Structure 1
Amino acid sequence: MSELNEQGNILLTLLADGEFHSGEKIGELLGVSRTSVNNYIKGLQGIGVDIYKVPGRGYQSATLIKLLNEQKIRQLCGYDNIKVEQIVDSTNQILLDQIPHLENGQTCIAEYQLAGRGRRGRTWVSPFASHLYFSFYWYFDSGIDKISGLSLLVGIAVVNTLEKMGIQGVSLKWPNDIYYQGKKLAGILIELNAQATAACHCVIGIGINIKMPPEQAKLINQPWADLNALIPTGVDRNELSAILIKELQYLLPRYEKSGLTPYLSRWFELDCFLDKKVNLLIADTITMGICRGVNRHGALLLEIEGQVKEFIGGEISLRLAN
């Protein structure tokens, strides 16, 4: 874990207003040379802050920078076990490293991830103060075999949160993606610390695209969407975080008690591939069929030559058939 140094934070605060600031003014404020100013600018650009340099005018952030506020999130959601970090390797790893010394609902949110990760070992692109990088801890007494449908419930929690923010038309793709009009808007990565029959420590990682910088967009090899395109006035990440925390705090105890069954109708309502022809990728094998939703264990139901088969767990990927 690391943070910007004092000069880096001063520069970030200065540029947050979206106005032009001359190199001379910045140098005086930081107490450094013009060469050092350029190095600090490059440092911020290196973590994804989009900064322009215009001769005769100075430096300007491409957009207003609105930082996460730990106290505001706590006030909005009514929970105190929330930690906002500036720069981390991974919000999931922060919580995993603290097991078993965590309480249910412990939340870690960061402005930037050095090594953000997604499902199947993929990298999650994590530019500074641009998206939501969010991890949430929960302890299940029932053991690992009882939480096979957890990623589906978390997906429902994310959609519920977005709808409460006024965002409609969001859908879910089994087992852990949130889509908008065929483009990936958010993803879920659940990591466990448990034995098959013992209690299960669970870290729920959620990444939501909010304001994708153009340079970072070039690093993504699939269609994507961000909330900024859906709400031109912008999204308050503090409000989004607070609503998501409240939604998880509400749903997880109920899921632990009743499983996925009470939420199946909601999943079928949101399933973007329901009754469509799909390809199921397992290792190097492609299986074609029709998506028929999921069962109470969270398994994918795939109709193949008139028979419905269940698929769950492992390195499985679902794609819409061409």
Structure 2
Amino acid sequence: MREHKAKLSLLSILSDGQFHSGERLGEQLGISRAAIGKHIQGIQAWGMDIYRVQGKGYRLNKPIELLDQARLESKTSVPISLIPIIDSTNQYLLDKGEECQSGEVCIAEYQAKGRGRRGREWVSPFGSNLYMSMYWQLEAGMAAAMGLSLVIGVSVVEALEQLGVEDVKLKWPNDLYYQDRKLAGILIEMSGQAGGAANLVIGMGMNLSMSGEQGGITQPWVSLDEVLGDHRIGRNQLASAIINAWQDSLEQYEYQGMNGFVERWNRLDNFISREIKLLMGSRVVSGIAQGINEQGAVLIETDKGIESYIGGEISLRSCDTKEQ
């Protein structure tokens, strides 16, 4: 992290969205104006928009609230590692393994190697999104973890609702949607042995203020700023609310399993009562979405009646939208 210290200090100064002269920045950080210019280039490589105007200096295209460990810890009750620049928050906790405490969180400003399901890249520019992961030891074992991404999805949407965010929905099995566009994705990775506890790492990336130029994403997506309109939620407030929601839902899941979440998930199903397609390799199942069941399987009404499907390689697409 020492290699990024100057860049992070520079961003802390620039976070107010005002102009700061290169000379003044150099004085504050104890480095030359030339070094300031090099660090600015490095910050831009993280996906940050920084402008330079002759006679005025440098500024961000808009103010940014940086994540603050003390503020996060004051609103939560779990161990938190704030690592601004990281390869992957999930990988950090996976590498740490059973040294983690159950509930421990890793959160970052920028991921160099963020990933989604099936090894896809998760675009992770600095400060534009929320990148966080939680370690959880599930005593009931790996088999009991089936459907856990649904539980986490419910907890995130309900946390957003408590913050005044409306109309965010869920796409089976692991995405948050707003008006048929992706707002966030959930990735759960696990390890363990038969008969023992499951070691889970639950990761989420949420688009907060990412621009189209930063995104480079092929599927339809939306940022939380667009969902909120004139309303604003601080990044630390949002992260704290989600951390607490995850902890509460995981504790509830330990005792109730999916039973306490089916109705809550179905209320938020983005595709319920709509025609959908399930893609399972070369097989395609078409029908009307009917929510999920107690096993976390997606239910589809077909010509044969209500059928249930579950599995990591199932892809859900709506017949009346582009590929999801």
Give the shorter-chain TM-score range: over 0.9
Deviation at 1:196, TM superposition (A): 4.2
> Aligned equivalents of 2:213 and 2:163: distance in 1?
27
> What does residue 240 of structure 2 align with?
242
3-state DSSP of counterpart to 1:205:
strand
> Aligned equivalents of 1:233 and 1:258: distance in 2?
35
Q: How does 1:262-277 map to 2 (within 5 A)?
A: 262-277=260-275
Greater CA drift, 180-189 or 309-318: 309-318
Deviation at 1:32, TM superposition (A): 4.3
- Give the gaps of 5 or more residues in structure 1: none
1:180 aligns with 2:185: no
3-state DSSP of counterpart to 1:291:
strand
> What does residue 10 of structure 2 align with?
11
CA contact (8 A) 1:145 1:197 kept: no
Q: TM-score, normalized by length of structure 1?
A: 0.93
> Aligned equivalents of 2:21 and 2:161: distance in 1?
42
CA contact (8 A) 1:294 1:300 kept: yes
Deviation at 1:3, TM superposition (A): 5.3
Deviation at 1:303, TM superposition (A): 2.2
> Aligned equivalents of 2:183 and 2:172: distance in 1?
14
> What does residue 199 of structure 1 align with?
197
CA contact (8 A) 1:50 1:213 kept: no
Q: TM-score, normalized by length of structure 2?
A: 0.93
> What does residue 23 of structure 1 align with?
22
Deviation at 1:21, TM superposition (A): 2.0
Distance verdict in 2 for CA 1:284–1:36, change over 3 Å: farther
1:126 aligns with 2:124: yes
1:227 aligns with 2:233: no
> Aligned equivalents of 1:212 and 1:269: distance in 2?
28
> What does residue 37 of structure 1 align with?
36
Question: Residue by residue, what CA displacement relative to the aligned partner does 1:143-193 show, whole Å, maximum 9, x if unpaired?
Answer: 111121111110000001101111011110100000111111111000001
CA contact (8 A) 2:78 2:103 kept: no
> Aligned equivalents of 1:190 and 1:61: distance in 2?
34
CA contact (8 A) 1:52 1:60 kept: yes
3-state DSSP of counterpart to 2:102:
coil
> Aligned equivalents of 2:27 and 2:102: distance in 1?
47
- How many equivalent residue pairs? 319
> What does residue 154 of structure 1 align with?
152
Deviation at 1:31, TM superposition (A): 4.5
> What does residue 113 of structure 2 align with?
115
Q: What amino acid is the match of 1:132?
A: L
Percent of matched pairs sharing the same residue: 45
> Aligned equivalents of 2:120 and 2:265: distance in 1?
25
CA contact (8 A) 2:15 2:64 kept: yes
3-state DSSP of counterpart to 2:91:
helix
Q: What amino acid is the match of 2:44?
A: Q
Question: Residue by residue, what CA displacement relative to the aligned partner does 1:11-49 show, whole Å, maximum 9, x if unpaired?
Answer: 212211111123333344445444433221110011122
Cα RMSD between the aligned structures?
1.7
Deviation at 1:267, TM superposition (A): 1.0
Q: What amino acid is the match of 2:224?
A: L
Distance verdict in 2 for CA 1:196–1:316, change over 3 Å: farther
> Aligned equivalents of 1:58 and 1:121: distance in 2?
41
> Aligned equivalents of 1:307 and 1:197: distance in 2?
36
3-state DSSP of counterpart to 1:207:
strand
Distance verdict in 2 for CA 1:80–1:41, change over 3 Å: same
> Aligned equivalents of 1:7 and 1:266: distance in 2?
46
> What does residue 68 of structure 2 align with?
69
3-state DSSP of counterpart to 2:99:
coil
> Aligned equivalents of 1:162 and 1:87: distance in 2?
26
